[in-house]
Amino acid sequence: MRKTELQSIEQKLILQRSAILNKNIDFMHNRKDFSLFSKADEAEIANHDIEVSMTYQIQERDRELIMKIDKALSKMSHGSFGECESCGAEITTGRLNARPFAELCIECQEEQEEGKGFPI
């Protein structure tokens, strides 16, 4: 992989990480505390509970994505970015542009998904 391609992917990862963190900061600032509203009806409270549950699920997904991004950035600094963790082959630049934190080449990813019963 050329240095310019690597720098471009690194920039994408950094921007994606920053966007996730900013979204979570915005959520914390805009969150409503329904314990302060003594006149909230049951429907409002139920709706609030659903929103909170969904938000926590999204935050968990974002946390996992940040961990993958951090792992990819670490690999870049150690010179192992773009190597398949299963077979050691080089992951194609196209795949890394589409999914910069990919850990497996397409062939190994397909094998893993077939083993788990995922449709191709």
Domains of the chain, CATH where assigned: 3-115 (1.20.120.910)
> At 105, is the secondary structure helix, strand, or coil?
coil
pLDDT at residue number 4: 92
> At 90, is the secondary structure helix, strand, or coil?
strand
Burial (CB count within 10 angstroms: exposed 0-12, middle 13-18, buried 19+), residue 91: buried
pLDDT at residue number 14: 96
pLDDT at residue number 115: 81
Q: Rounded to whole angstroms, how far apart are CA atoms 72 and 81?
A: 6
Assigned token pair, 28: 């914390």
Give the pLDDT means over successive 10-residue stretches in the chain (120 positions): 91 95 73 57 79 85 95 95 95 94 94 73
